[in-house]
Amino acid sequence: MLVLHLVPVMLSLLLLAAHFVRRGDMVVVIAILCLTGFLVIRRAWAARMIQVALLLGCLEWLRTLVELASLRIELGQPVVRLLLILGAVAALTGASALIFKGAKARAWFRIGS
């Protein structure tokens, strides 16, 4: 079932939207939420746009990780838990982009046909 394969993609996009809500960047939040609607568009370009957004999201999580870890180190606060959590979120977001390489997603989005 394709929906189960796309759960990590939806979760990654929603976590990314929540991140930008916290930063107050509502234009980016709206853009990310619109991208979730692209999951029902059965075209290769829709899949590629989602993949690009997920890869950019992964980079954003890594940027945030470095920024927050530097701040915590500077303040003498523990940093390991932050590294584990944000590292896992970045890995999930990056790995979600790979879902579009699978046969079910390729068939749904008509990639390579």
Quickly state the pLDDT bin for 113 (edges 50, 70, 90).
Answer: low
pTM of the model: 0.92
Q: Please give the structure tokens belonging to residue 83.
A: 């590294």
For the stretch 25-64, pLDDT in tens is: 999 999 999 999 999 999 999 999 999 999 999 999 999 9
Decide if pLDDT at 14 tops 80. Answer: yes
**Average pLDDT of the residues in 63-89:** 97
The answer to whether residues 89 and 61 touch, using CB atoms and an 8 Å cutoff, is yes
Enclosing H/E stretch for 95: helix 80-96
| pLDDT above 90 as % of the chain | 94
Question: What string of DSSP letters covers 18-71?
Answer: HHHHHHT-HHHHHHHHHHHHGGG--SHHHHHHHHHHHHHHHHHHHHHHHHHHHH
